[in-house]
Amino acid sequence: MGQSIGIRIDPKRKQPLHRQIFDEVVARIEAKAFPPGYRLPPSRVLARELGAHRNTVARAYSELESAGFVSSNVGRGTFVQQPTAAGPARLEPSPPPVARMPWSSLCSSAVRSEAIGRVERQRLQPAANDAINLARMQPAPDLVPEDLLRRCLTRATSEHAGRVYGYAPPEGTLRLRELIALDLEARGVPAKAADVLITSGSQQGLDLIARALINPGDTILVEPTTYSGAIDLFTLAGARLLPVPLDAYGPDLGALERISGPSVKALYLMPNAHNPSGRTLPAERRRALIAWSQASGIPIIEDDYAAGLNLEDEPSPPHLRALSGDVIHVSTYSKRLAPALRVGYVVAPAELRSSLISMKRVVDLSSSQLLQHALAEFMERGYLRAHGERMRHEYRARRDALDAALRKSLPADCTWHLPTHGIVMWLRLPAGMSVPEVYEEALRRGVLVSPGALWSVGANAEPGLRLSFCAESSERLVEGARRLGKAIKQLAGRVRPQPRAASEDALEVV
């Protein structure tokens, strides 16, 4: 536990407590009571002895080290230094030195969590200004209806000036919630304004759901490769993430039956335009998942981040929320319109919705009323419907351009599936090829891609890249595919061909 060093603190002295500790230790060092190599007690022991906060002692030790009186070694302790010829740089009592706060001991364990580490790893290396970006998940500037949005913002400030600069209700403005309910009805999801909670993007929606459902140690079922933002939020909430094996049609029903249990709080899915795979679940599997959810008592969180972006003319499979009122449905206008709006929403069962609204009030009081009215204006004027059609056709053209260019530029043992919804496709690399090396080589050639490890729940990420086709023009997508093809071919000569494992076939996206 460490020895007592007999420091006495005078509460009548005006000098800060950490400074008194500093002076007492220095006095003993100069009197040779603390010889070189003498080990000071751990900060927690001295803090307990003095009845002080541990951070106060840590600050005194930090100043002693800065002045050259002691040295600290993590795991070993704090030791008196052998004085140099010039002696330590004694700090003058006045003015006191400016010491940094001991942030490493102040910060919570959350900042050192795997979730935050994942966020740090997602800060991909900066690419050259002219690099072709196949990683960005937001509409290209030419796809944002800037003039229409400006018109709607102007209209919102002129027509609703008395309200738009104040707080909105925590659940969101009634006007926008009514319009979102109509939008959902048009896409086959039964909804009323009372069912809708407005959030600051779908990310906040997932955060509120995680706070409402998860106690530390609870289990959330996820796909082995899924949206990194959801992984991070569930992990920060203290959840244990359990990957569900996939078959050719989505989450394996037999596996779900085996891993259901009282500690499982929810199954998180992206049935349309799965990120990062681009997969869309067929209708039959959706109905089977709803049947499993109802039988097991485990709710499904349906993330519909790419709402309305059906790239084909055939009808989309029914939303999970359309099949069951117990599904928690989350969506956003970031991909359909513009991320800067920061408007998303949650449609949840009434029993959960009141808790979500209360948490929303605690977290940020409300989302921007100005932006809510501007979006409502955009929807009321019919702009969203027309713009959505434009985006569908434009994204389909860009998807097809990228698909054709990949067929022309990539080796035959690279495989991918043409997505029917959304803005991403998943590129599977040849067996044995290093994903990080492909990322680095592609970056050197001026094309930015997203390595699959960013979306892996476990340690064994599927070897692949996510390619987004929303942020670049068709011409630049073609050039990006050409550069990526050169990067892969450059590395192919170093890879020894390996047959694909039979189990990998079960992970083919549909």
pLDDT for 318-350, tens place per residue? 999 999 999 999 999 999 999 999 999 999 999
Q: In the 8-state DSSP scheme, what is residue 293? A: H
Is 0.85 surpassed by the pTM of this model?
no
Is the Cα dihedral 286, 291, 296, 301 positive or negative? positive
Which band of pLDDT confidence, cut at 50, 70 and 90, is reported for residue 509? very low
Judged by DSSP in three states, 290 sits in helix
Which band of pLDDT confidence, cut at 50, 70 and 90, is reported for residue 241? very high
Which band of pLDDT confidence, cut at 50, 70 and 90, is reported for residue 85? low
Percent of the chain whose pLDDT exceeds 70: 88
For strands 424-428 and 77-80, give the pairing. Answer: unpaired
Q: Residues 341, 217: one domain? A: yes
Cα–Cα distance measured from residue 338 to residue 332, given in angstroms and rounded to the nearest whole number: 10
CB 77 within 8 A of CB 36: no
The tally of domains found in the chain comes to 3
Amino acid at 64: L
Final residue of a structural domain among 336, 367, 398: 367
pLDDT at 190: 95
Residue 23 forms part of a structural domain: yes
Lowest-confidence segment of 17-31, 104-118, 186-200 by average pLDDT: 104-118
pLDDT at 1: 39
Give the DSSP per-residue string, 303-371.
Answer: EETTTT-B-SSSPPPPPHHHH-TT-EEEEESTTTT-GGG--EEEE--HHHHHHHHHHHHHHHS---HHH
CATH number of the structural domain spanning residue 443: 3.90.1150.10
Q: What phi and psi, each to the nearest 5 degrees, are found at residue 167?
A: -70, 140
Q: Residues 190, 267: one domain? A: yes
Q: Residues 212, 79: one domain? A: no
Q: Residues 129, 102: one domain? A: no
Residue 177 forms part of a structural domain: no
Residue 2 has pLDDT above 60, yes or no: no
Residue 507 has pLDDT above 60, yes or no: no
Q: Residues 133, 260: one domain? A: no
Place of tokens 């998942």: 289
Which band of pLDDT confidence, cut at 50, 70 and 90, is reported for residue 103? confident
Lowest-confidence segment of 55-59, 226-230, 487-491 by average pLDDT: 55-59
Residue 26 forms part of a structural domain: yes
Residue 151 forms part of a structural domain: no
CATH number of the structural domain spanning residue 68: 1.10.10.10
Q: Residue 64: which residues within 8 A CB-CB, separation 6 or more?
A: 22, 25, 26, 70, 78
Mean of the pLDDT values across residues 50-73? 85
Q: Residues 196, 82: one domain? A: no
Give the DSSP per-residue string, 471-491.
Answer: SS-HHHHHHHHHHHHHHHHHH
Q: How many CB atoms lie within 10 A of CB 350?
A: 9
Residue 290 forms part of a structural domain: yes
Cα–Cα distance measured from residue 179 to residue 200, given in angstroms and rounded to the nearest whole number: 17
Residue 188 forms part of a structural domain: yes
Residue 156 forms part of a structural domain: no
Instruction: Write the pLDDT tens digit of every residue in 364-377.
Output: 999 999 999 999 99
Q: Residues 340, 209: one domain? A: yes
Mean of the pLDDT values across residues 208-216? 96
Instruction: Write the pLDDT tens digit of every residue in 265-300.
Output: 999 999 999 999 999 999 999 999 999 999 999 999
Q: Which domain holds residue 91?
A: 17-106
pLDDT at 97: 59
Q: Residues 253, 297: one domain? A: yes
pLDDT at 196: 98
Kindly report the average pLDDT of the chain as a whole number: 88
pLDDT at 56: 87
Q: Residue 198: which residues within 8 A CB-CB, separation 6 or more?
A: 168, 171, 172, 173, 176, 177, 180, 343, 344, 345, 367, 372
pLDDT at 506: 32
Q: Residues 394, 355: one domain? A: no
Judged by DSSP in three states, 20 sits in helix
Q: Residues 420, 495: one domain? A: yes
Judged by DSSP in three states, 285 sits in helix
Mean of the pLDDT values across residues 140-158? 94
Q: Residues 361, 395: one domain? A: no
CATH number of the structural domain spanning residue 337: 3.40.640.10
Residue 500 has pLDDT above 50, yes or no: no
Instruction: Give the H or E element holding residue 229.
Output: helix 228-236
Burial (0-12, 13-18, 19+ Cβ within 10 Å), 313 = exposed
Final residue of a structural domain among 367, 397, 421: 367
Mean of the pLDDT values across residues 393-420? 96
Mean of the pLDDT values across residues 118-137? 74
Q: What's the distance, Cα to Cα, between the start and end of the chain in Å?
A: 61
pLDDT at 157: 92
pLDDT at 441: 95
Instruction: Write the pLDDT tens digit of every residue in 419-472.
Output: 999 999 999 999 889 999 999 999 999 999 999 888 888 766 678 999 999 999
pLDDT at 400: 98
Residue 34 has pLDDT above 90, yes or no: no
Residue 265 forms part of a structural domain: yes
Lowest-confidence segment of 75-79, 457-461, 481-485, 490-494 by average pLDDT: 457-461
Give the DSSP per-residue string, 360-403.
Answer: HHHHHS---HHHHHHHHHHHHTTHHHHHHHHHHHHHHHHHHHHH
Q: Residues 93, 64: one domain? A: yes
Cα–Cα distance measured from residue 238 to residue 325, given in angstroms and rounded to the nearest whole number: 27
